[in-house]
């Protein structure tokens, strides 16, 4: 807009508000009245007999007007005017002031001038408050950047903090943009209704225009900052997708390893069950053979004599065993004489012991391999987490949930390993009971019955324990499946919420960018 102020054409810049129409002068008097400012800050009309100075030509007014110069970075700076204002002349500008006519009275004009000055000072105060809010926003942004540089344990925690900081700064910038728009609108109205002093020939809105240019520079810097935050948000979202993909791969690897470990434990339990059944059959066979031998009828007196002699020897051996030391060398030799059945059972027990040691060795090797793989995976994940930038709180909660889930799975696997380790203990108890058969001399029938009862109770306990292990494994697998399903559902819900937030955030950014572009086109 080209406006004429005291005969000087102002071609400094286009109007700030294209929607606001230019105000027509109150009168068409070719000689408008001028105003004189007193030392008390009052504006008095000049005598009507003094004619106004002639307007200078437009060609000479160009150096004294406020010119806009383009510099790199799309920052518009203003050149200072060559006309120096008088110190006693106050700056008066208000959109509601009408051009007075010559027939107005002096008290009415002074009151109107005071109101104009007060309203102009209120506008300047509003601009100062907006500048203070800009400084506060910059301070909050620097504090948020400092907090973003602090180390965090996981990447998702860092991403959430950065997103929250960006959202806070965007909200602050949006509020600042609304305030700046209101101030610009007010200044545009003040520019279209301005009162100038012809005595000094000074344009009275230079300070307001300087503040407006500073505000436009701040707005351009805010637009660049918003674009930078948008790029940073996209980078963080790419990192979040990479971390979630890595977590899925880790979960699949851990599930495969756990399934292999459970299969190995099932095979070990089956082998132990088979060996236990073989031991039961051997014990049953040995007891039946001993009973058959003991119940075999004697056919002659020699057999009876031999039986009596053997019974006497058995009594002597029992007495010798009950004593602390045998009373003779014969009793000692007889007490140390082994039996064929006992030797056979010892060989079988030794074979079973060797098998058990071999199974334990294989189990230890597998367990060591699993622990090494687990430690290697944990070390790789820690290195990846240390090398990558950090993330926000919401993603940290999902990672912590996944970590708690797999720690619970590892605890369950260790519990299963402990339960499987108790099977050799039960087998050792069976072997200890069987080792009682290796006592020198043939035991009596009562001892056989006692051993049979103990073996029967142990087999029952082993069967109960086996069923408990089976139920525990089923419950663990079901609970793990349910937890995996719940975790997947939560993950999908969190992803949906996150996508909605990102979409809303993107829409808000697009709106802000469109508004900034519109303002940039309106006020280049």
For the stretch 255-292, pLDDT in tens is 777 777 777 777 877 887 787 788 878 877 877 776 66
The two counts, helices (H) then strands (E), for the chain are: 9, 6
For residue 49, pLDDT over 70 is answered with no
For residue 193, pLDDT over 70 is answered with no
Domain boundaries, the chain: 252-287+307-498
Using one digit for the tens of pLDDT, what is the confidence trace for 357-367? 888 888 888 88
R_g of the chain computed on alpha carbons: 50
Element (H, E) at 168: helix 155-192
Q: Give the mean pLDDT of 480-494.
A: 88
Q: How far apart are CA 269 and CA 259, in angstroms?
A: 15
Using one digit for the tens of pLDDT, what is the confidence trace for 441-485? 555 666 766 777 888 888 888 889 888 888 888 888 888 889 889
Element (H, E) at 237: helix 206-294
Which position has the higher pLDDT, 157 or 476?
476
Buried b (16+ CB within 10 A) or exposed e, 343-356: eebeebbeebeeeb
Backbone angles phi, psi at 356, to 5 degrees: -65, -40
CB–CB of 320/335 below 8 Å? yes
pTM (predicted TM-score): 0.21
- Compute the Cα dihedral for 254, 255, 258, 264 and give only its sign: negative
513 exposure class (CB count in 10 Å sphere: 0-12, 13-18, 19+): middle
CATH 1.20.120 is held by the domain 252-287+307-498: yes
Residues 6+ apart with CB under 8 A from 50: 34
Q: Give the mean pLDDT of 162-183.
A: 74
Number of residues assigned to the chain: 524
- Compute the Cα dihedral for 369, 372, 378, 379 and give only its sign: negative
Helix (H, G, I), strand (E, B) or coil at 150: coil
Using one digit for the tens of pLDDT, what is the confidence trace for 375-385? 888 888 888 87
In sequence order, what E strands does 281-425 have?
A: none
For residue 137, pLDDT over 50 is answered with yes
CB–CB of 366/261 below 8 Å? yes
Q: What is the pLDDT of residue 113?
A: 64
CB–CB of 194/209 below 8 Å? no
């Amino acid at each position: 807009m080209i406006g004429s102020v005291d005969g000087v054409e102002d071609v400094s810049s286009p109007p700030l508000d294209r929607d606001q129409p230019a105000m027509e002068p109150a009168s068409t008097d070719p000689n408008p009245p001028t105003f004189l400012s007193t030392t008390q800050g009052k504006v008095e009309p000049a005598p009507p007999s003094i004619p106004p100075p002639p307007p200078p030509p437009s060609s000479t007014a160009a150096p004294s007007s406020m010119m806009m110069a383009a510099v790199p970075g799309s920052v518009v700076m203003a050149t200072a005017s060559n006309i120096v204002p008088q110190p006693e002349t106050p700056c008066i500008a208000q959109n509601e002031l009408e051009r007075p006519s010559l027939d107005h009275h002096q008290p009415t004009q002074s009151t109107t001038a005071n109101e104009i000055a007060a309203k102009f000072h209120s506008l300047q105060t509003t601009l100062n408050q907006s500048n203070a809010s800009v400084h506060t926003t910059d301070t909050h942004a620097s504090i948020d950047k400092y907090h973003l540089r602090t180390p965090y344990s996981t990447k998702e925690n860092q991403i959430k903090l950065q997103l929250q900081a960006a959202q806070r700064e965007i909200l602050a910038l949006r509020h600042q943009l609304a305030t700046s728009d209101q101030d610009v609108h007010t200044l545009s109205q003040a520019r279209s209704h301005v009162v100038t002093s012809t005595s000094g020939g000074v344009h009275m809105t230079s300070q307001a225009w300087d503040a407006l240019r500073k505000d436009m520079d701040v707005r351009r810097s805010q637009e660049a900052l918003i674009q930078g935050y948008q790029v940073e948000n996209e980078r963080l979202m790419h990192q979040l997708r990479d971390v979630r993909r890595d977590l899925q791969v880790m979960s699949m690897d851990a599930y495969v390893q756990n399934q292999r470990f459970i299969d190995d434990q099932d095979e070990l339990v089956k082998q132990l069950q088979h060996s236990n059944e073989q031991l039961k059959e051997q014990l049953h066979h040995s007891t039946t053979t001993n009973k058959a031998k003991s119940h075999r009828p004697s056919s002659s007196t020699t057999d009876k004599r031999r039986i009596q002699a053997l019974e006497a020897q058995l009594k002597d051996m029992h007495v010798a065993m009950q004593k602390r030391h045998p009373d003779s060398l014969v009793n000692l030799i007889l007490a140390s004489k082994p039996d064929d059945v006992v030797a056979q059972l010892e060989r079988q027990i030794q074979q079973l012991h060797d098998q058990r040691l071999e199974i334990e060795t294989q189990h230890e090797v597998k367990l060591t391999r699993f622990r090494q793989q687990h430690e290697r995976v944990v070390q790789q994940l820690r290195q990846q987490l240390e090398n990558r930038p950090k993330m926000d709180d919401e993603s940290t909660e999902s990672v912590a949930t996944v970590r708690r889930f797999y720690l619970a799975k590892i605890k369950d696997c260790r519990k299963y390993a402990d339960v499987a380790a108790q099977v050799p203990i039960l087998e050792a108890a069976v072997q200890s009971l069987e080792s009682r058969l290796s006592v020198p001399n043939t035991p009596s029938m009562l001892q056989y019955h006692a051993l049979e009862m103990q073996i029967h109770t142990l087999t029952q306990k082993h069967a109960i324990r086996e069923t408990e292990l089976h139920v525990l494994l089923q419950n663990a697998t079901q609970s793990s499946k349910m937890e995996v399903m719940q975790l997947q559902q939560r993950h999908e819900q969190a992803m949906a919420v996150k996508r909605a937030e990102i979409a809303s955030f993107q829409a808000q950014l697009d709106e802000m960018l469109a508004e900034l572009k519109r303002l940039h086109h309106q006020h280049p």
